[in-house]
């Protein structure tokens, strides 16, 4: 992770804060926009240290493209996960086969690992129990493969190809 300039980090924070402000007020009235811009500039100066590590580097077109592609993929995975859970809950025999498996990840970045852990929690039958370095401990409602490699293939691989580009 290279050192990003303070200016780049600051501008990125201000931009994100300002977008959130626009969404929250939901109006383009000049008064609202001005006060929002002022507050974004002040809050950005106070929080850019903790808010981002890479600054404007996050807005690299390739990253934005992969992120946009990731959203529908993720929502689809989430809906499938819920139908899966619905099937398990409603089935009279309760077809569950739970256990805690271990996965490895190729991601090295903390934000990327967080995004992966969150994605895992919201998708088919898996909840992240703990993360130690590159080892993920995951509670899986229907264990198909007990080995580390098999579990990684099933759980982390599908997300990694997106998250690697977005966060690495």
Asked if residue 99 binds another protein (CB under 8 A), the reply is yes
Task: Using the rule CB under 8 A, give the single segment among 43-51, 56-64, 122-130, 159-167 that binds another protein.
Answer: 122-130
Asked if residue 80 binds another protein (CB under 8 A), the reply is no
Whether 66 and 162 have beta carbons less than 8 Å apart is answered as: yes
Asked if residue 108 binds another protein (CB under 8 A), the reply is no
How many of the chain's residues bind another protein (CB under 8 A)? 40
Whether 154 and 145 have beta carbons less than 8 Å apart is answered as: yes
Instruction: Pick the closer one to another protein by CB: 5 or 68.
Output: 68
Q: How far apart are CA 42 and CA 58, in angstroms?
A: 21
Compute φ and ψ for 99, nearest 5 degrees. Answer: 180, 170
**Using the rule CB under 8 A, which residue among 6, 65, 86, 110 binds another protein?**
86
Residue list 13-42, contact with another protein (CB under 8 A): 20, 22-24, 26-27
Instruction: Pick the closer one to another protein by CB: 45 or 96.
Output: 96
In DSSP terms, 7 is beta-bridged to none
Instruction: Pick the closer one to another protein by CB: 7 or 24.
Output: 24
The SS3 assignment for 136 reads: strand
Q: Give one DSSP letter per residue of 62-111, joined into a string.
A: HHHHHHHHHHHHHHHHHHHHHHHHHHHHHSTT---B-EEEEEE-----HH
> Which residues fall within 8 angstroms of residue 6, CB to CB, at 6 or more apart?
48
Rg over CA atoms, the chain: 20
Instruction: Pick the closer one to another protein by CB: 5 or 99.
Output: 99
Instruction: Pick the closer one to another protein by CB: 62 or 93.
Output: 93
Residues that bind another protein (CB under 8 A): 20, 22-24, 26-27, 78-79, 81-82, 85-86, 88-90, 94, 96-102, 117-118, 121-122, 125, 127-130, 132, 135, 137, 139, 141, 143, 146, 148
């Amino acid at each position: 992770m290279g050192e990003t300039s303070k200016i780049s980090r600051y501008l990125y924070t201000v931009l994100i804060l300002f977008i959130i402000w626009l969404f929250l007020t939901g109006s383009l009235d000049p008064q609202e926009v001005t006060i929002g811009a002022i507050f974004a500039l002040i809050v950005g100066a106070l929080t850019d240290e903790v808010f981002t590590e890479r600054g404007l580097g996050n807005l690299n077109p390739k990253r934005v493209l992969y992120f946009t592609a990731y959203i529908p993929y993720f929502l689809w995975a989430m809906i499938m996960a819920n139908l899966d859970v619905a099937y398990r809950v409603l089935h009279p025999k309760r077809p569950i086969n739970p256990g805690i498996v271990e996965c490895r990840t190729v991601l090295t970045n903390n934000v990327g690992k967080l995004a992966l852990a969150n994605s895992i929690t919201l998708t088919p039958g898996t909840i992240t129990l703990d993360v130690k370095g590159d080892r993920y401990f995951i509670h899986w409602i229907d264990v198909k493969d007990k080995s580390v490699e098999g579990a990684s293939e099933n759980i982390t691989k599908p997300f990694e190809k997106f998250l690697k580009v977005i966060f690495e």
